[in-house]
Amino acid sequence: MRIIVVAAGRARGTPEDALFAEYAKRLKPSPGGIGPLECREIESKAKVPSARKADEGERLLAQMPDGGFLVALDPRGKALSTEDFSRQLARWRDESIGTVTFAIGGADGLDGAVLDAARFRLCLGSMTWPHLLARAMLAEQIWRAASILAGHPYHRA
């Protein structure tokens, strides 16, 4: 199952970008049928926050593959343990969902259109995380979930 992270903002050359790339590399070949993992970045030039949020929403949705499954990272979403997250990914994989797209909004959050289009809302926790760090944390959890599904002994929960 292919995984795409579509995120607002640019991470080029940052430590967070390198960390995301490291976890994406670890998912080749795909352990547990999860992967490959890629990140697509979008950016709005709108100055007004409401216009920027709407523009980012349109750009995020435009990155969705036809027939894809959208997961919105949302502080009001469902908080899952690592094990529950791995089981959720396995369900989507077993339901023959070919691509899961995770949407990460910008500083103003995700537009309502993205939240409405999402088939699942995921919360990374009750703390606020920088958007670049959220990408890296999500990539690590996807890798860890794939490792659990593949029976790798690294995860010791």
d(CA 15, CA 52): 26
DSSP 73-103: EEEEEEE--HHHHHHHHHHHHHTT--EEEEE
Mean of per-residue pLDDT scores for the chain: 93
Q: How far apart are the first and last CA of the chain?
A: 24
d(CA 63, CA 101): 9
Count other Cβ atoms within 10 Å, centred on residue 36: 14
| Structure-block tokens of residue 111 | 């537009």
* pLDDT tens profile 134-149: 999 999 999 999 999 9
Kindly indicate whether the domain formed by 2-149 is annotated with CATH number 3.40.640.10: no
d(CA 136, CA 78): 19
Full-model pTM: 0.94
Is it the case that residue 153 has pLDDT exceeding 80? no
Contact between 36 and 24 (Cβ < 8 Å): yes
Is it the case that residue 155 has pLDDT exceeding 80? no
Looking at residue 154, what is its pLDDT? 64
